[in-house]
Amino acid sequence: MPTSTDTPILSDEQFDELAALLTGPLHRPGSDGYDLGAASWNVAVQSHPIAVVEAHSAEDVAATVRYAADHGIEVAVRATGHGAADPLDGVLLIRTGAMDELNVDEAGWARVGAGVTWGALFERATPLGLAPLSGSATTVGVVGYLTGGGLGPVARTFGVSADYVRAFDVVTGDGQRRRVSGTENFDLFWALRGGKGALGIVTAVELDLPRLSEIYGGALYFGAEDIAAVLHAWAEWAPDLPDAATTSVAIMRMPDAPFVPPPLAGKVTLAVRFAWVGDAEEAQRILAPLLAVATPVLGGIGDLPYSQIASIHADPVDPMPAADNGGLLREFPPDAVDALLRAAGPGADSVQVAVELRLLGGAIARTPTGPSAMGHRDAAVSLITIGIAAGPVAAVTAADSARIMAAMQPWSTGGSMPNFSSSADPVDVRRSYPQETLDRLVALSAIYDPRSVLRAARPVRAAAEMTR
């Protein structure tokens, strides 16, 4: 495996040799194609791969992996770069954005190429009354989201999104193209649903799409003076919700900028998100106690086309320098609410743009028909901090996030969800998986990536060794 003191480069001859194996272009450092390909949605992560392969087919991916193995080079993959965390020095980067195969079957399933975003799938599926189980943002790639498990705005009703995968097409670290499903290469099927990219580069996925055209949902924003009362009420109200309801709250510190609605700009507010699958009158009855606590300064909850489900969280669309950190809580009692308010509430000196709590449980906690690498399904609440990571502010943001997580340590499970912490640090990866899952991922990596070509497997192997 290459090390920091043995960074590989591609000579002119090697560059031409690799380029001749591809149907898509190969970009050198310094070219426009390289700069575009090395960029990620999270602009806080500046990547410097030795070259960028713009893959046009699964065979392009396989040829690149085989070439890298023969030359002692690691490979990494990105589609949108939302989860970018590694500068990729000395790594050959495969961009899959051009792999845009997209077929939706009216019977309730779809086949999706590695470069397709949830938004593109929504455009094809929602007119048919089908509901892709995306996350809170539809600009994210389908494949990357599913390999990290997936907990979206209706997750308590439908469960983990990866449980709806029928099959993957994947290139493993030995350069072989494989189809994996519940009946084919099941060990890889287990690993790819939750194990991120440690076992291979997914080139296409087939997934089931539930039938759902409308929900009852939206978001309400409360002013600083009501945050404590509403957060305490939410913490008491949420655990008893039926599976038809999915909800989250977020303490927000939005910038004083023209693109931010005036009631939120430059202020500390609390967002309450809610999605209900079922009868609207029942949802209104369920919501009534929470709505009686205070009057929101912005927002609304009502009938919502499923095609607009991303409006509930209203995540940013444009690239930004982001730093996120995730954890899991086993409970969120009144003393935990008070601790979070002290750490991140209106009176706290916090720099996080959002400190979010998502209610788990419901269908998330149920074991799927086929097991997967997605763990920690028994946690009660997900805790996420999101801040700006640009220039000198980055260190302040990281320290502030660590302070908030430390304040919540008495109620922490010690775990985290793979998609909610963009990090290549083995310490963070270790928190995403139980030891037995890490050990199994590493054992499979030795079989399917014998020459340690896949960069994503490196922190997994390191994490597994930490407790031995």
pLDDT at 321: 81
pLDDT at 6: 57
The token pair that represents 145 in the structure block: 């989201």
Report d(CA 161, CA 132) in Å as an integer: 9
The pTM (predicted TM-score) of the whole model is: 0.94
Report d(CA 84, CA 47) in Å as an integer: 9
- Pairing of β 201-208 and β 109-113: antiparallel
Segment 107-160, tens digit of pLDDT: 999 999 999 999 999 999 999 999 999 999 999 999 999 999 999 999 999 999
User: Across residues 288-307, what is the average pLDDT?
Assistant: 98
User: Across residues 173-187, what is the average pLDDT?
Assistant: 97
Question: Is it the case that residue 438 has pLDDT exceeding 80?
Answer: yes
Residue 228 makes CB contacts below 8 A (sequence gap 6+) with 341, 345
CA dihedral 323, 329, 333, 335 (to 10 degrees): -60
Q: Tokens 């270790």 map to which residue?
A: 430
Question: In the β-sheet with 74-78, what is the strand arrangement from edge to edge?
Answer: 26-27, 51-54, 91-95, 74-78
**SS3 state of residue 68:** helix
* CA end-to-end distance (rounded Å), the chain: 22
Are the beta carbons of 156 and 432 closer than 8 angstroms? no
Q: Which residues of 308-337 are buried (b: 16+ CB within 10 A; e: fewer)?
A: ebbbbbebeeebebbbbbbbbbeebeeebb
Question: Is it the case that residue 199 has pLDDT exceeding 60?
Answer: yes
pLDDT at 3: 40
**How far is residue 302 CA from its own chain's centroid?**
27
pLDDT at 468: 60
Question: In the β-sheet with 201-208, what is the strand arrangement from edge to edge?
Answer: 102-105, 109-113, 201-208, 165-171, 177-181
User: Across residues 304-320, what is the average pLDDT?
Assistant: 91
Q: Is the pLDDT higher at 391 or at 49?
A: 49
Domain ranges of the chain: 12-95, 214-423
pLDDT at 1: 42
User: Across residues 322-331, what is the average pLDDT?
Assistant: 94
Segment 54-90, tens digit of pLDDT: 999 999 999 999 999 999 999 999 987 777 677 788 9
pLDDT band at 290 (very low <50, low <70, confident <90, very high): very high
Domain 214-423 has CATH 3.90.76.10: no
pLDDT at 4: 41
pLDDT at 316: 83
Domain 12-95 has CATH 3.30.43.10: yes
Q: pLDDT above 90 covers what percent of the chain?
A: 84
